[in-house]
Structure 1
Amino acid sequence: MEFKDLEIFQAVAEQGTITGAAKQLNYVQSNLTARIHKLETELNTPLFNRHRRGMSLTPEGKKLLTYSQRILSLTEEMKQAVQNQTEPSGKLEIGTVETVIHLPKILSSYIQNYQNVDLSIYTGVTETLQRKVLNHKLDGAFVTESNFHPDLVAHQVFQEELVLISDPSASSLEELKEKPFLCFSKGCGYRARLENWYKDENIAPKRVMEFGTLETILQSVKMGLGVTFVPRSAVVHLEQNGLITCHSLPEKYSTINTLFIRRADTYLTATIEKFIETIEVNK
C-alpha cells in the first residue's frame, strides 16, 4: 500500500465518483479505478458501494477513511517538522463562523506579511467546523465558545454581545415572542444561546426557519419575516440607519466568546504559529 493509494481513496470518498476524483487529482480515470481495485484486493474487502449515481463508502471503507486521514495528516506534519521552515509557506485552510468582525483585518495582515502561504477560508457553524478540525480537514477555525473536544486547544479572540434583532416596527420583547426564529442550522452557537433563552422563558417559537447565509437572515429580518440573534457588531450599521431594532437579553445569554481552535496534538508549523500571532496582534 502506498501513500498515493490513500490519497486516491480519500479523493474518491470525498467526491463520490471516479470522475470527480480524477478532475481533483488531475489523473486518468482508468488509473484511479485500477488503484482502487488494487487497494480493495490488498485489504481483501470492498471499500465502496457502486451505484448509478456514483460510489459510497462501505462500513469497512468508512473505517479506512478515518485511518487514512490520520496517516496523511501525520505524513504532512512529518514533512513540515523535518524541513523546519521558519518562513510560513504552503497551504493553510481556515474555517470561520460568518460573524467574526475582525476577520478581514486578521486575514489582510497575514497575507501581506506571508505572501508564500496559500490561504483558503471556509464558512460554517461551530459544530461543523469543530468536527472538520478534529478530522484534519481544516488547520484551525474561528468558532463560538462551547464544550470543545479534549483534542482541541482554543485561543481567545474577542468577546461580544449578542442582541435579538427585529424590524423597526417591534417595540418590546413581548411582541417578538410570537415572531418566527430565523437562524443557521443546528450547531450554531448563537442559535443555541437564543434557544436557551426561549426554554428558560417557556417560549415555544411558532416557527423556526433555517438559512444558509447571514446576509439572507438579515435581509429577512429587515422585511419583518422574523427575529434572529447575532453579535451587535455585525448589525450596528443597520441599527444606526433605522433598518432594524436591537433588543438586549440578560448577560447569561448575550455574552459570548469567539475563539480560534486547532488540534492540540499537531506540530505547530511556522505557518499556523504566525497565523495565531497575527490573531493576537489584530484582535
Structure 2
Amino acid sequence: MAHADLTRPDGTAEDWTIPQDWTAYTAEEHATWDRLFERQARMLPGRVTPEFMEGLDVLRLTKPGIPDFEELSERLMKATGWQVVAVPGLVPDDVFFEHLANRRFVAGSFIRTPGQLDYLQEPDVFHDVFGHVPLLAHPVFADYMQAYGIGGQRAAKLGAIERLSRLYWYTVEFGLVRSGNERKLYGAGIVSSYTESVFALDDPSPNRIGFDLKRLMRTKYRIDDFQQNYFVIDSFEDLLDQTLNTDFEPLYAALEDEPDIEIEAILPTDLVYTRGTQAYARAKAAE
C-alpha cells in the first residue's frame, strides 16, 4: 500500500485516512466480494497456513459482503490490538510505516470490477482485507507487522527503504512457510489471487528458496506478473525473531557494496527447495 511520491487527495485526513462509508457499497460490489471470497475459501484449505484460516473464523470474515471496518476492527483489537483504517489507495511510505508502527493496517475501500477478478494492479479491499487481515489476528505475525513498521521508519532515515521493501514483498505479500515436509501459502498477494495460489505451490517454473534476510534484501522482484522466486520461512516465530534481533543499520551499510541479485538467479549458498524451470517467465518475455 506504500509509495514514495504521492499527493494527498482532497477529503482525506492528514494521516491519509478516509471514512469507509460502508453503506455506500452496492449490491454488485458486495456480490463481487462474495464471489472472490467463495472461490478462495474453497481452494485454500490445505494450501494456506492454518493460522490464516483461523483468522478468518476469529474475525468472522466468513460473513457475506464486504466487511465493515469498524466491526472488523473491534474484533481485531480484542485479538491483537490492531485495527483496520480506510485509505483512498496507495499512501506515502512514511504514512504507511506510521500506521503499521501503531498497529493500524491501511486498506483500500474500493473493490475491483467483475472484469478484474484475476488481476488488479492497485490493491483493493479484497486484497487488503481478505489477503492481509486474517494473519493480523495471529499474535506473532501481528508483532512482525508492527516491527516492520518501526523498521520502516528507521529505514527512511537511513535511505534504505528500497532494501526493506523487498522484505515486505517477499514475506508479507509473497511469502511461503514450512509446514513439516510441506510448504504453505501465507503472503497476501498469493492468498488473495486464485491463479497465484496454484502457481506458487504447484508450478515447476518458480524458484522456492529458504529465507535468508541479506540475500532476500539484495534480490529484485517483479510487480507485473507471477513471482519468479518465493522465499520460504521456517515459522512466523523465526521471522519475528530475525527481524527483532537484526541490527539493520550495519546490514544496510554492508549491502551498499553488494550488487543486486537478478530475479531468477540461484546462488551456491541458497537452500533450494525447488529449482524452478523459469519456463513461465521466459515464455511471457518471448511474447
Shorter-chain TM-score bucket reads under 0.3
Q: TM-score, normalised by structure 1?
A: 0.23
Flag the structure with larger Rg: 1
Structure number with higher relative contact order (C-alpha < 8 Å, ≥ 6 residues apart)? 1
